[in-house]
Amino acid sequence: MATGKASSSDGEGPEVETSVTYYRLEEVAKRNSSKEIWLVIHGRVYDVTRFLEEHPGGEEVLLEQAGIDASESFEDVGHSSDAREMLKQYYIGDVHPCDLKTDSGKDPLKNNSCKSCWSLWVLPILGAVLLGFLYRYYTSESRSS
């Protein structure tokens, strides 16, 4: 879990500070039992545990989507605007930016873009060392001949 600050201001009065809690998909995936159900809809994380029995579509469908991205299923049903309003009550945070789907359509769990890419700095260093050796080799060759 990570917390980030997001500030908003409507142009009137003092600026309001709101903090956003970020959740990794791994964490959401753990909440997949009837004791605790979290799901993701459009990059936002919802704790629907207390909504299970109240859901007009039944608890079964929510259990099926537990711990995963339910955006598609949620949209497929064609939920009303009332249902969308209800989402706010169960909102607990956002999906961590590292886990958001990329344009290339990669599996977000396998999205490595946030891990430091060692090849980015190791390869140029190896190249520089190699060039240094070559330079020394050729300059010593030309001196001895």
Residue listed under structure tokens 């997949």: 32
Closest residue (Cβ) to ligand HEM?
A: 57
22 vs 51, beta carbon nearer ligand HEM: 51
Restricted to residues 21-80, the positions that interact with ligand HEM (CB under 6 A) are 39, 46, 48, 51, 55-57, 61-62, 65, 70, 73-74, 77, 79-80
Q: Which of 52, 63, 68, 83 binds ligand HEM (CB under 6 A)?
A: 83
Bridge pairing between strands 2-8 and 16-23: antiparallel
Among the residue ranges 25-33, 84-92, 113-121, 137-145, the one whose residues contact ligand HEM (CB under 6 A): 84-92
Nearer to ligand HEM, 71 or 111 (CB): 71
User: Cβ closer to ligand HEM: 54 or 107?
Assistant: 54
d(CA 91, CA 21): 10
CB of 100 to ligand HEM, least distance (A): 19
Identify whether the C-beta of residue 31 lies closer than 8 Å to the C-beta of residue 47: yes
What is the phi/psi pair of residue 35, to 5°? Answer: -75, -35
Q: Where are the beta strands (DSSP E) in 59-107?
A: 91-95
Give the whole-angstrom CA distance, residue 19 versus residue 3. Answer: 7
Contacts with ligand HEM by CB under 6 A: the residue count is: 21
Gap between the Cα atoms of 48 and 55, Å rounded:
9
Select 12 or 60, whichever has its Cβ closest to ligand HEM.
Answer: 60
Whether the CB-CB separation of 51 and 38 falls below 8 Å is answered with: no
State the residues that interact with ligand HEM by CB under 6 A.
39, 46, 48, 51, 55-57, 61-62, 65, 70, 73-74, 77, 79-80, 82-83, 86-87, 90
